[in-house]
C-alpha cells in the first residue's frame, strides 16, 4: 500500500517535471531575439518564427552567434593544412533558436556563391556555422567570418563533392524553406 502510494507520488512528480521541462524548452525556443549591437555578419530569412528586423529576418552579430549553444570538432579539410579545430553553432541549434521547421537551406556567400541543400545534410552529419578556427576568429579574407563546415574526418561520406559544395565560406545569408 505504502509502496504503491510512494510509486504513485513519484510518477506524478516525474510527470510534473517532464511538463515543466517541456514548458521551459518552449519558452526558450520562443525567446525574442535581441537586436544586434555589432556589425551584422549573418542574416537568416524565410521559414523562421523569430525575427529582429523590420522585414522579418533574423540578424546576428558575432556575439549573438557566440551566445548560442557551442559546437566544436577537429578535422582536416581539403582547403586547409593539418588538423583544424572549428567552433561554431550547429545548424540544428541555429534553426531551433529561430523556431524553424524548415527542410531546405539556401545559403549565400559574400562572393555570391550560393548553395541549396537539405537541412538533414547538416543536422544528420554535424554541420556547423563556424566562427572560430584554432582559437581565432575566421578572417573575412580567409573563409570567414562564417563558414558552414562538416567533421569530414569522422565519416567518409562527408569527403565528397556534395558536402564540399555545402561547405560555404564567407557565409552571409541563409534563406530557410
Ligand atoms: N563562398 C564560397 N564557398 C564555396 C565555394 C565558393 O565558390 N564560394 N565553392 C563550393 C564548392 S562547389 C566546392 S566543391 C568547394 C570547392 O572548393 P575549391 O574551390 O577549393 O575546390 O567549396 C564550396 N564552398
Ligand atoms: Mo563543387
pLDDT digits (tens, 9 = 90+) for 29-45: 579 999 999 999 999 99
Whether ligand 1 lies within 6 angstroms of the CB of 77 is answered as no
For the segment 82-101, the average pLDDT, to the nearest whole number, is: 98
Looking at the CA of 79, which ligand is closest?
1
pLDDT single digits (tens) 61-73: 999 999 999 999 9
- What is the whole-number distance in angstroms between the Cα of residue 32 and the centre of ligand 2? 37
Per-residue pLDDT, 24: 61
**CA distances (Å), origin 78, targets 19, 71, 81:** 46, 21, 8
Q: Is the pLDDT of residue 10 over 90?
A: no
Task: Match 573563409 to its residue by C-alpha cell.
Answer: 143
Q: Is the pLDDT of residue 2 over 90?
A: no
Whether ligand 1 lies within 6 angstroms of the CB of 114 is answered as no
- Going by pLDDT thresholds of 50, 70 and 90, the confidence category of residue 3 is confident
Whether ligand 1 lies within 6 angstroms of the CB of 164 is answered as yes
Whether ligand 1 lies within 6 angstroms of the CB of 81 is answered as no
Per-residue pLDDT, 125: 98
Amino acid at each position: 500500500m505504502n509502496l504503491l502510494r510512494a510509486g504513485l507520488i513519484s510518477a506524478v512528480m516525474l510527470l510534473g517535471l517532464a511538463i515543466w521541462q517541456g514548458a521551459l524548452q518552449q519558452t526558450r525556443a520562443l525567446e525574442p531575439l535581441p537586436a544586434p549591437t555589432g556589425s551584422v555578419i549573418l542574416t537568416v530569412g524565410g521559414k523562421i518564427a523569430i525575427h529582429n528586423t523590420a522585414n522579418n529576418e533574423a540578424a546576428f552579430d558575432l556575439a549573438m552567434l557566440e551566445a548560442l549553444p557551442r559546437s566544436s570538432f577537429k578535422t582536416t579539410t581539403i582547403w586547409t593544412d593539418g588538423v583544424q579545430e572549428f567552433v561554431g553553432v550547429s545548424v540544428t541549434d541555429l534553426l531551433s533558436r529561430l523556431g524553424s521547421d524548415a527542410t531546405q537551406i539556401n545559403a549565400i556567400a559574400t562572393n555570391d556563391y550560393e548553395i541549396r541543400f537539405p537541412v538533414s545534410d547538416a543536422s544528420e552529419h554535424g554541420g556547423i556555422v563556424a566562427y572560430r578556427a584554432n582559437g581565432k576568429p575566421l578572417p573575412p579574407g580567409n573563409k570567414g567570418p562564417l563558414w558552414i563546415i562538416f567533421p569530414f574526418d569522422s565519416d567518409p561520406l562527408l569527403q565528397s563533392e556534395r558536402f564540399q559544395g555545402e561547405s560555404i565560406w564567407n557565409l552571409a545569408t541563409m534563406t530557410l524553406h
